[in-house]
Structure 1
Amino acid sequence: MGYKQYTEAAPGAPAVTVLVCAWNELENLTELLPLLDAQDYPEFEVLVLDDRSSDGTHDFLKKHVFDWEYVRFIRIDTEHKHITPKKYALSVGMKHARYPIALMTDADCRPTGTNWITSMVAQLSDGKDIVLGFSPYIRKAGLLNWFIRCETFYTAVQYLSFARTGWPYMGVGRNLMYRTSLFFATKGFYTHKGVVGGDDDLFMNQAATPENTAINLDPNSFMYSVPKTSWNSWFVQKKRHLSVGKLYKARYKFLLGLLSGSHVGVWVVGLACLVYGIYSQDLLFLQILGGAFVLRWLVQAIVLGSINKRLDRTVEVYSFLFMDLAFFVYYLFMGFMLLIRRKAKVQWR
C-alpha cells in the first residue's frame, strides 16, 4: 500500500496548535522553534510550555518570541502533587490552545521539512480524531545509537501495524495529533495523572479506537528526534516507558507480552537445541536447526525490509540478524532489571 506525500493544505484545513513541553531545553528550542515557525500551513500557532526551566529558557523566550510569527509561550512555575509535571503542562496547553487540533512534539525533535503540519492534518479526514505519526532518531555512530534506532523501528512496526489492523494502543508524543475536544471528552490524563509517562501511550490506550485513529507514513510527516548519548540516560528513559506498560488494557498487555515472550522463547529453544546438537554430535539435527533460523531471518529480511523502506530506512538492512539477537538480550535484561528495581523512582528525565 503506497503513501501520498502532502505538500499543500486542503481548502478549509483546520487551524492547529503545536504543543511543545520544555524543561531546561534551551539549546534544543533555539534549533526547533525556527523550524516550527517556518511550517507552510495556513493557520497555526506554536505554544511552548516552559515547565519550571532554570537554564535561561524563560529569558530566551521573552527576548525572542517576537522574532517569530507563530510562536508564543506559557511559563509554568509550580508543581502539583496530584498530577505529574509534563501531564500538567500539557493540560495547561490544551486549555490555552487557540485552535481545535493539537499536534504534540518535544523540544529535542526536528521536522523533516516545512510540510509536517500539512501532512499530519491531511490524515484527519473521514471522521478521524487521532493521527499517529512516526518519530525516528537521528543517525549517529556507535552501538547505543544503533540500538536506539532498532528499538524505535521495532516499536513503530508494532504500534503502527496494530493501529492499521484496528487495534490502536499507543502513539509517541514526539509526533502525535488529536482533537482537543477528544482530550476533554475523555477527561484528559485523569485516569493516570499520577503516573510518570503515559501522556502519549496511556492516553491513546483509553482514547484510540479503530474508527477514530489514522496512521501517517508520509515522509513529510516524520519528526526526527535527538537520541540519548549515554547508556544511563537511555536506561532511565526506557524504564519510564516500560513502567507504564502494566497499565495498558489487558488485551494489549497479552498481545505485546506474547510478542516479546515468543521472541525470547525462540532463542531459548534454539540455543538449547544447539547445545544438545553439539553434545550429541547430531549433524542432521544441527542442519535442521540452522535451516530453521536461516528461514526466520529470511522472512524477517523480507517483511521488516519492506517496512523499513517506508520508515525512511531507520535501520540498516544488513543488521536485521544482529537486531534479532539484540532484542533477545534486551528483553531478558529489561525484564530482569524491572523485577529487581520495581520500587525505584521513575523520572521524566
Structure 2
Amino acid sequence: MTELLLAILGFFILIQLFYYLFVFTRLIGYRQYSEPGPNAPAVTVLVCAWNELENLQELLPLLDAQDYPTFEVLVLDDRSTDGSHDFLKKHVFDWDHVRFIRIDAEHKHITPKKYALSVGMKHAQYPIALMTDADCRPVGNNWISSMVAQLSDRKDIVLGFSPYMKTGGLLNWFIRCETFYTAVQYLSFARVGWPYMGVGRNLMYKKSLFFEHKGFYTHKGVVGGDDDLFMNQAATSDNTVINLDPESFMYSVPKTSWGSWITQKRRHLSVGKLYKPKYKTLLGLLSGSHVGVWLAGIACLAYGLLNQDLLLLQILGGAFAFRWLVQLIVLGGINKRLDRTVGIHTFLFMDLAFFIYYILMGLMMFTKPKKDTKWR
C-alpha cells in the first residue's frame, strides 16, 4: 500500500514539475521590446461601458493623456442608465482623443458586450484595436506605446497583464492570487507556442484579424469569451506575443463580494468548456495534478499516521517540501516580473487555497447556473 500511495503521489508531482520547470520558467528570463518602431501604427482603444459613470470619470482622462502619436479612445456606451450618456455628451469635447457611440438596444442573436465590441470594431478609425474595460486603470502614460512595441509584421496579437488592485481582505487576496496564477498560465503557454486566451482588460490585436475570423460569430451567443474564446480561435504560435513590460500593466477594480465573484467564475467556467480539446487537456492536467498531489498527500499522511510508517511520512514531507521549493523559486521569479501581485510569504497558503478552489469549482460545474444575460 505504501508503494502504491507513493507512486500516485510521485506521478502527480512529476506532472506539476513539468509545468513549473518547462513551461512556467519561460517567463522568468523573457526579454522584449519596450519602444514602438519609427512607423508606429495608429490605435483605437475600445472601452465597453454599462452603467460605469464613476469609472469613466476616472479612466477617460488617463487614456486621453497617453503618450502616443496617433490614437483614439472609443467608448461603447451599452444602454447605460446611470447618467453615463449625459456625461459623455457633455465632456467628450474636453478631451483630444475621446469619442463615443451609444448602443440603445439589445439583440437576440448576440450577447451585449460582443455586440458592443463588434460595433466598435466597425467604427474604429485605426487598424490596431486595444481593448480594456471601464473599471481599469493604466499604470502610466505609456500603456499604448508599450503594447504597440510588441507588434510586428508577423505578430498580430499582444497579450497583456491586468492585475487587480490590492484592497485587503481574504476575497481580495484570493482574487489577486487567482489572477496572478491565471496570467502565469496563459502567458507561459503562449511563450511555449500554445496561446489559448487573453484578458479583455488588456488585449491588443489587428482589426483585420477580427474580420478575418468573422469576429465572435462562432460563439456569439455565449456570455463572455470576447477575449479568451476569440483568442482560442485566432491566436497561434506564430501570430501571438506577450507583454511583461511594467508600463503595459492595466490594473482593475476587483469584486468586493463573494457572490459577485462566484457569478463571474461561473461565467468563466462555462466559457472554458468551449476551449479547443488540446487546451482543455493541458489545463485539466495542470489543475487535476494539483488536486491529485494534495489528495495523495492527505492519503499518505493518514495511512502513515495510522500505521506509524515513519519512512512514508518522511518521504511525504520531503516531496511536499521539494515541490514548495520549486513553486517558491519559479512563481517567485515570475511574481517579480508581474509587479509582485502576490506576497511571496503567502505562496504556501495559495497552494492550499487552489486545492480547495479546484474542488469547489469542479462541484460547481455540475450545478446549473441561473441564466446570465449581463456582460460584466
**Range into which the TM-score falls when normalised by the shorter chain:** over 0.9
1:205-225 deviation line (CA, Å, top 9, x unaligned): 010011110100000000000
Percent of residue pairs bearing the same amino acid type = 80
**Structure 2 equivalent of residue 49 of structure 1:** 76
1:14 is aligned to 41
Report Cα offsets for 1:76-123 as digits up to 9, x if no partner: 000000000000000000000000000000000000000000000000
Count of aligned residue pairs for this structure pair: 347
Q: Helix, strand or coil for the counterpart of 1:80?
A: coil
1:269 maps onto 2:296 in alignment? yes
> Which amino acid in the other structure matches residue 130 of structure 1?
I
What is residue 344 of structure 1 aligned with on the other side? 370
Aligned mates of 1:49, 1:296 — CA distance in 2: 46
Separation of aligned partners in 2, 1:281 and 1:348: 54
Q: Which residue identity is paired with 2:195?
A: P
Give 1:115-134 correspondences, 5 Å limit.
115-134=142-161
Matched, 1:103 2:130: yes
- Secondary structure in structure 2 of the residue aligned to 1:345: coil
Contact conserved, 1:21 with 1:89, CA < 8 A, in 2?
yes
Distance 1:236 1:3 in 2: 37
Q: Partners of 1:87 and 1:80 in 2: how far apart?
A: 10
Q: How many Å separate the matches in 2 of 1:117 and 1:136?
A: 17
Native 8 Å contact 1:5 1:220 kept in 2: no
1:70 equivalent in structure 2: 97
1:12 Cα deviation after fit: 1.4
Q: Which one of 142, 147, 170 corresponds to residue 197 of structure 2?
A: 170
Matched, 1:239 2:266: yes
**TM-score, with length taken from structure 2:** 0.91
**Paired residue for 1:296, among 323, 330, 333?**
323
CA distance in 2, matches of 1:73, 1:338: 38
Report 1 or 2 for greater relative contact order, CA contacts < 8 Å, sequence distance ≥ 6: 2
- Counterparts of 2:202 and 2:145, CA distance in 1: 13
Note the residue ranges of structure 2 that are not aligned, 5 or more in a row. 1-28
Aligned partner of residue 75 in structure 2, secondary structure? strand
Structure 1: segments with no counterpart, 5+ residues = none
Is the 1:112–1:220 Cα contact (8 Å) retained in structure 2?
yes
Question: Equivalent residue for 2:280?
Answer: 253
Deviation string for 1:178-215 (max 9, x for gaps)?
01100000000000000000000000001001111010
Partner of 1:39: 66
Q: For 1:326 and 1:273, locate their aligned partners in 2 and report how far apart those are by CA, in whole Å.
A: 20
User: Please, which of 78, 102, 113 is the counterpart of residue 86 of structure 1?
Assistant: 113
Q: Name the counterpart of 2:7.
A: none
**8 Å contact kept, 1:263–1:328:** yes
AA at the equivalent of 1:295: F
Provide the rounded CA distance (Å) in 2 between the counterparts of 1:157 and 1:202.
Answer: 18
* 2:158 aligned counterpart, secondary structure: strand
For 1:201 and 1:278, how far apart are their aligned partners in 2? 45
Tell me if structure 2 keeps the 8 A contact 1:45–1:70: yes
User: What is the SS of the residue equivalent to 2:300?
Assistant: helix
Counterparts in 2 of 1:171 and 1:55: CA distance versus 1, 3 Å: same
Cα distance, 1:344 vs. partner? 2.8
Q: CA deviation at 1:291?
A: 1.1
Question: Normalising to structure 1: TM-score of the pair?
Answer: 0.98
CA deviation vs aligned residue, 1:247-292 (integer Å, no higher than 9, x gap):
1001001111111110000100000111111111222221111111
The answer to whether the 8 A contact 1:240-1:348 is kept is no
Q: Deviations over 1:109-165 (max 9, x none)?
A: 000000000000000024210000000011111000100000001000100001001
Q: Which residue of 1 aligns with 2:358?
A: 331
Residue in structure 1 matched with residue 26 of structure 2 by the alignment? none
Q: Does 1:152 align with 2:179?
A: yes
Match of 2:338 in 1: 311
CA RMSD, 1 decimal:
1.1
- Residue 86 of structure 1 aligns to a residue in which SS? helix
